Amino acid sequence: MINREWHLLSRPVGWPKPEDFALVETETRAPAEGQVLVRNKYLSVDPYMRGRMSAAKSYVAPFELGKVMQGGAVGEIVESHAEGFAVGDHVLHFGGWREYATIDAKGAVKVDPDLAPLSTYLGVLGMTGLTAYAGLLRTASFKEGDSVFVSGAAGAVGSQVGQIAKLKGASRVIGSAGSDEKVKLLVEEYGFDAAFNYKNGPVSRQLREAAPDGVDVYFDNVGGDHLEAAIGSLNERGRIAICGMISVYNSTEPVPGPKNLGRLIQTRGRIEGFLVGDHYDLQPQFVQEVGAWVASGELKYRETVVEGIENNLEAFLGQLRGDNTGKMIVKL
């Protein structure tokens, strides 16, 4: 079978350009012993993938030039040479950015399309959901009564952070987003107490207006002026969990840090970065608790779905621009 897959041709400088990538036709490789061949149905694109396009040393190896990229995917097994995996089973795996993936079965997790839509295993019940859960509850040490500020709050992670905080008894949840439409969504559908469009004025001023009594927890998806504003509004013993800094991912020059870091001495505040991979021990607890909220309708989610492998790159660039509401998904 002919397979289409995306290759990285050159390492982007600044914003990725279409000529940095190529959609290549290859022959599908038959699975060896212990492997399965999967026809992908949904692919994930995520901000962290921008870092893997660089050669800089990081927590995960960079994409190799001239070879297919990787990412989360859900698909159906069409050929199996692995015990415990049958043709027709659906699996979550990391062979994305392609139509067909031949993978080691030990790297696949069976999922049930009858329990939840397949796409949710890439979002609300998948890695992004666990990122929100672990970052808020473990890294930020959220406790009942905390006031919480979330940047990038209409995205896949941010929207879940705010809702989990409300369900866990936050006194106030504030979100920032990049459009008035998204701000309305945060308040009217996701139950945030307040939200603002960061394009409508200085973040520090808008945050003070939305959280006049300060914030106890800041969940950072953006960095830059949002992080500086959060430090300025942080209450005593406040905690900041750094999940991502999408505002600086495409910068070509060093980005200055917050000018008010010294305020952490006064507040005895704490900033801590985290990676979801360090918290997979929470997976059973996460699936049980969040799965129940999703089933009951207490926790809502949105997906932005782009159709076709040929549009995988545009979907990736779109979520860097903030075009998505909720999880950005590519449907094949």
The secondary structure of 190-253 as a DSSP string is: S--SEEEEGGGS-HHHHHHHH-TT-EEEEEESS-THHHHHHHHHEEEEEEEEE---GGGTT-SS
Measured CA to CA, the distance from residue 307 to residue 42 in angstroms comes to 9
**Residue range 191-204: average pLDDT?**
97
pLDDT above 90: residue 247: no
Q: Select from 319, 296, 288, 297 the least CA-distant residue to 306.
A: 319
| 14 vs 138, higher pLDDT | 138
**Residue range 60-79: average pLDDT?**
95
Angle at 165 between CA 139 and CA 94, to 5 degrees: 60
Task: List C-alpha distances in Å: 53 to 12, 50, 179, 318.
Answer: 7, 5, 28, 16
**Residue range 43-65: average pLDDT?**
90
**Residue range 297-301: average pLDDT?**
94
For residue range 276-288, what is the model confidence (pLDDT) as tens digits? Answer: 989 989 988 998 8
Confidence of residue 230 (pLDDT cuts 50, 70, 90): very high
| 299 vs 255, higher pLDDT | 299
User: Taking the model in full, what pTM does it have?
Assistant: 0.84
Q: Select from 137, 148, 152 the least CA-distant residue to 276.
A: 137
pLDDT above 80: residue 77: yes
Q: Select from 139, 142, 138 the least CA-distant residue to 167.
A: 142
pLDDT above 90: residue 94: yes
pLDDT above 80: residue 100: yes
Confidence of residue 17 (pLDDT cuts 50, 70, 90): very high
Measured CA to CA, the distance from residue 43 to residue 190 in angstroms comes to 25
Query: How many Cα atoms sit within 13 Å of 226 on the Cβ side?
Result: 29
Measured CA to CA, the distance from residue 186 to residue 18 in angstroms comes to 33
Helix axes 156-167, 283-296, angle to 10 degrees: 80
